[in-house]
Amino acid sequence: MTDAEGIPELPADLDAVRGALVDWYEADHRDFPWRRTEDPYEVLVSEVMSQQTQLDRVVPAWEDFLDEWPTTAALAAADRADVVAFWSDHSLGYNNRAKYLQEAAGQVEDDYEGAFPQDPEGLRELMGVGPYTANAVASFAFNNGDAVVDTNVKRVLYRAFDAPDDDDAFERIASALMPAGESRVWNNAVMELGGVACGKKPRCDEAGCPWREWCHAYQTGDFTAPDVPEQPSFEGSRRQFRGRIVRLLGEHEEMELDALGHRIRVDYAPDGDHGREWLRGLVDDLADDGLVEADASGDGVVVSLRR
C-alpha cells in the first residue's frame, strides 16, 4: 500500500518498530569513541574525518587529532600548515577539509564565544559544514537533530519498507520513523543497522536484524539497493597528487616546482604531458584553497605550505 504521493505505508505499530531497533542497538553496537562523547567539537571532528574514510581508520586519527588540538581554541590558534600536514599524513582525503575545520573552530571562538550552535540551521553557518554534518552534530552532541539520511540509511529504508529510490521519499520515511526528541540514539541506531546488518551484502540473521518481521526484502528475498554514484578512482587522480604535494611540503619547508614534480610522480617531465603546466595547475588549486603558497624566485617557482 502507498499513499497519494506513492510513499509506501509504514507498519501500523511504529512503536514496536522503533523499540526493536533501539533495543537491538543498545544491546550491542560498535564502540567508536565518538559515540561516548556529547562534546560538539569532538563530534564535528569525527564527522569531518569520516567523510569517505573507513571508520576503523578514523579512530586513531581522531584520537591523535584531539590529543594535539583538544579544543576549538587550540585548533583555531594552531599553525595552518601543521593541521593540513596532519590531515595528509593520516590519509584523510581532501585536505581542504582540514582548513575548513580549523576555520569553523575559529568561528566558534570568535562569533559564538566558544559555544557551538545547537541546531542544524545554526551549525550550517560554520565553515565547511553542510546539511548532513550539521544534522549529525545537532543529533549526536545535542539530541536536537532531524532524521539522518545517508547512503546506509537509504539502503535500509529501500529494503525494509520498499521505499522508492527518491531523496524526498527517503526524507519523509526517515522523519516518520524517528521518535520525537530521540535523534541521538535513533540516528546512531539506524546507521548501525545499515553498517552492520543491512550492508551491500545483507547479514539479516547473523546480525539479528531487529526489523526482519517487517522487512520487505527479508520477506521477498529481493535485496537490491538504491543506485549510488560510484566514487571516482583515487589512484592517478588529481586528488591523489594534491595529497602528495601537501605531504611533501609538510616534510620540507619549501620546494622548487620541478623538484616537487619529480618527487610526486616518476614520469614527471617539465615539458611533458604531466609537466610544469599540469603541476602548476595542481599548485594553483591548492593555493586557491588556502593550503599552499607559490612564489616566483629567480627563474623558478618555490612552493610552501601556507602558514
Indicate which residues carry an active-site annotation.
Answer: 47
Q: Distance between CA 107 and CA 173 in Å, rounded? A: 34
Looking at this protein, which amino acid is placed at residue 284? D
According to DSSP, the residues that pair with 296 across neighbouring strands are 301
Q: Distance between CA 137 and CA 135 in Å, rounded? A: 6
3-state secondary structure of 226: coil
Q: Distance between CA 6 and CA 17 in Å, rounded? A: 21
The phi and psi torsions of 238 (rounded to 5 degrees) equal: -60, -35
HSE-CB of 137 using CA atoms within 13 angstroms:
27
Q: Distance between CA 154 and CA 124 in Å, rounded? A: 22
Spell out the alpha helix ranges (H) of 28-166. 40-49, 55-68, 72-76, 80-89, 96-111, 120-123, 131-142, 151-160
Whether 170 contacts 153, CB under 8 Å? yes
Beta-carbon neighbour count of residue 188 at 10 Å? Answer: 21
